[in-house]
Amino acid sequence: VPLAVFPKSSARAAAVPPSEADWSGFYDAHFEFVWRSLRRLGVREANLDDAAQEVFLIVFRRQDAFEHRSSSKTWLYGIAFFVARRFARASARDASAPIPEELPDTREPTPHEVVARAQSVRLVHAALDLLEAEKRAVFVLAELEQLSAVEIAEVIGAPLNTVYSRLRAARRDFDGALRRIEARTPRRSL
């Protein structure tokens, strides 16, 4: 999804604020991405709507930055990261806690893949929940969102070396979490 919403044409003079349709279009183009990112970063289901609103409020409030940086993918990630941190769980989920069954599989059921996909969503999110918040963020941005280490460093405001070391640790923890979860989960058809 391209992030650039506003044409950078000279026709849009600096004095002309983005129109309502611009805002609306930006929202429509990015809501799903924002919501999903927040969820992946650990915002609770009950808080996702509020957190998503907050992301857009920040985006829209910083109108100047909005217009100049709306093409920057990392910028939006950065805001989502900032908001997610405020909403994030106080601590990572207890490793012995049951896998949350309430995680909805939120997509249209397309016959064969549905079960497997829903199962994947549950497992991945359950494993993410077992990561420490900082590792989780790096892991999500790298493995789920496919950001480069340099981009991640920009988003989370940490040195590149820190990103690498956190990612290394996060991968290890994620694998370990998956093993623990699957060890005590009756394997469903995948």
Partner 1 sequence: MSELSSEARRLIAAMADADGPPRDRQAQVKQQLFLRMSAVAAGAVIAKSAFAAPSSALSLPVAAKATVTLGTLATAAAIGGMVGLGVVIPAAITTSKPASSAAIRSPSQSTRPHLAAKTTYPMPSASALASAAPRASEPTSFVEVAAPREEPAQRSAVSSTIARTAALPDAHETSAAADTRLAEEVALLNAARRELAGGHGAQALALVERHARRFPDGALRQERTAAKVLALCELGRVESAAALARALLAAAPESPLRQRLEQSCAFTLNQRKSSGQ
- List contacts with partner 1 (CB under 8 A): 17-21, 23-25, 27-29, 31-32, 35-36, 39-40, 46, 48-50, 52-54, 56-57, 60-64, 103-109, 113, 116-118, 120-121, 123-125, 127, 143-144, 164, 167-168, 171-172, 174-175, 178, 190
Nearer to partner 1, 37 or 74 (CB): 37
> Minimum CB separation from partner 1 for residue 156, in Å?
17
Question: Using CB atoms within 10 A of its CB, is residue 64 exposed (0-12), middle (13-18) or buried (19+)?
Answer: exposed
Kindly state the tokens that stand for 62.
């910083």
Q: Whole-number minimum distance, CB 90 to partner 1, in Å? A: 19
For residue 50, the minimal CB distance to partner 1 (Å) is 8
Cβ-based nearer residue to partner 1, 40 or 73:
40
Q: Is 149 helix (H, G, I), strand (E, B) or coil?
A: helix
d(CA 44, CA 83): 12
Q: Smallest distance, Å, CB 144 to partner 1?
A: 6
Is residue 43 within 8 Å of residue 88, measured between CB atoms? yes
Other Cβ atoms closer than 10 A to 49: 12
Name which of 6 and 27 has its Cβ closer to partner 1.
Answer: 27
Nearest residue (CB) to partner 1, 154 versus 173? 173
CA 45 vs CA 50, 88, 172: distances in Å: 10, 11, 26
Residue 116 burial (CB count, 10 A): 12
